[in-house]
Amino acid sequence: MTNTIHAQNLSKSLDGHQILSDLNVTLFPGQVTAILGPNGAGKSTLLRCLGGLIAPDQGQVFLGDDDCTKMDPPQRARTIGFLPQTPDIAWAVDVTTLVGLGRIPYLGAFGASDIDHLATHNAIERCGLRDMATRDVTTLSGGERARVLIARVLAGQPQWMLVDEPMGGLDPGHRLDVIDLFCDFARAGGGVIITLHDLDSALRMADRIIVLSAGEIIADDKPLGALTPSVLSHAYGISAQVIAGPSGPIIDIMGRS
């Protein structure tokens, strides 16, 4: 049974700037929830608070009934898999080693067990990385690396995946691959919270869209309900609308509003 993530009266400031102010939101498993908003709206900060990586100044984040910031960090890490924005991989480890890092919250005193190896192996298979399992991650293309990093999160068998802007630098084909991985995870009962800049990716994968602007939620609905012309104008300062494309809704941008 996967728990909800619930933020209550969440406020956070960084370096004297109010990033989030008095946010209330509940996130449900089995869905892909996209957090949109302009640069500096507080998307990443909200995601870090929801994942328990940083403590809010005021308010609480609950995972089910547990206060996220008071949870034992390894236990939190086993439940919530966090994928930071464009993490540069510091050392030239091979793909299997990197995916295996996702098992760190499970490791006991004696290192990796057969269960850990199996979970790593399954994550590699699921992300279609079998052929590159022994390759050096620093030699991979951006699309391959994105899949390896997602596999790293999947290896931890989390109930939730919190993903910060994964589409940067990916071509349309690789975007589809990545979108499929997140959607599959949500269809299987997990929860996905993802921050995005790319509105078309959000329309394609999200079951629910939350739009942030200046630290406040200005829309929270199904994709078509959330991305209205007035919300798009308010959030991004663009004159745009969602229109019906031949294979689903797409965004039509007319210009600056």
Partner 1 sequence: MNKLPWRLIFGLGLGVLVLGIASLSVGKVNIPLSVWLDPGHDPRWLIIMELRIPRAILGMAVGAALGLSGAAMQGYTRNPLADPGVLGVSSMAALGAVAALYSGIGYDLPFMVPALAIAGAGIGMSVLLLLSGASESVLTFLLAGVILNIMGGAAVALALSLAPSPWAAQEIINWLMGALVDRSRNDVGLAIPLITIGAMVLLGLGRAMDALTLGEEGARGLGVNLVRTRLLLVLGVGLCTGASVAVTGVIGFVGLVVPHLLRPLVGNRPGALLLPSMVAGSALVLAADILVRVAPTTVELKLGVAMSAIGGPFFLALLLRLRRRMA
Site for partner 1, rule CB under 8 A: 48, 51, 53, 72-78, 80-85, 87-94, 96-98, 100-105, 107, 111-112, 116-117, 120, 149, 152, 156
In whole angstroms, how large is the CA radius of gyration of the chain?
A: 18
Nearer to partner 1, 23 or 83 (CB): 83
- Residue closer to partner 1, measured from CB, 23 or 164: 164
**CB distance 45 to 165 below 8 Å:** no
Smallest distance from partner 1 to CB 136, Å:
8
CB of 166 to partner 1, least distance (A): 13
* Nearest to partner 1 of 104, 176 (CB atom): 104
CB of 158 to partner 1, least distance (A): 10
DSSP assignments along the chain, one per residue: -PPPEEEEEEEEEETTEEEEEEEEEEE-TTSEEEEE-STTSSHHHHHHHHTTSS--SEEEEEETTEEGGGS-HHHHHHHEEEE-SSPPP-S--BHHHHHHGGGGGG-BTTB--HHHHHHHHHHHHHTT-GGGTTSBGGGS-HHHHHHHHHHHHHHT--SEEEEE-TTTT--HHHHHHHHHHHHHHHHTT-EEEEE-S-HHHHHHH-SEEEEEETTEEEEEESHHHHS-HHHHHHHHSEEEEEEEETTEEEEEEEEE-
d(CA 69, CA 25): 16
For residue 80, the minimal CB distance to partner 1 (Å) is 8
Q: How far apart are CA 118 and CA 202, in angstroms?
A: 32
- Cβ of residue 87: shortest distance to partner 1, in angstroms? 5
Kindly tell me which of 45 and 201 has the beta carbon lying closer to partner 1.
45
Tell me how far, at minimum, the Cβ of 99 lies from partner 1, in Å.
Answer: 9
- CB nearer to partner 1: pick between 33 and 79: 79
Q: Which residue lies nearer to partner 1 by CB, 82 or 236? A: 82
Distance in Å, CB of 250 to partner 1, minimum: 32
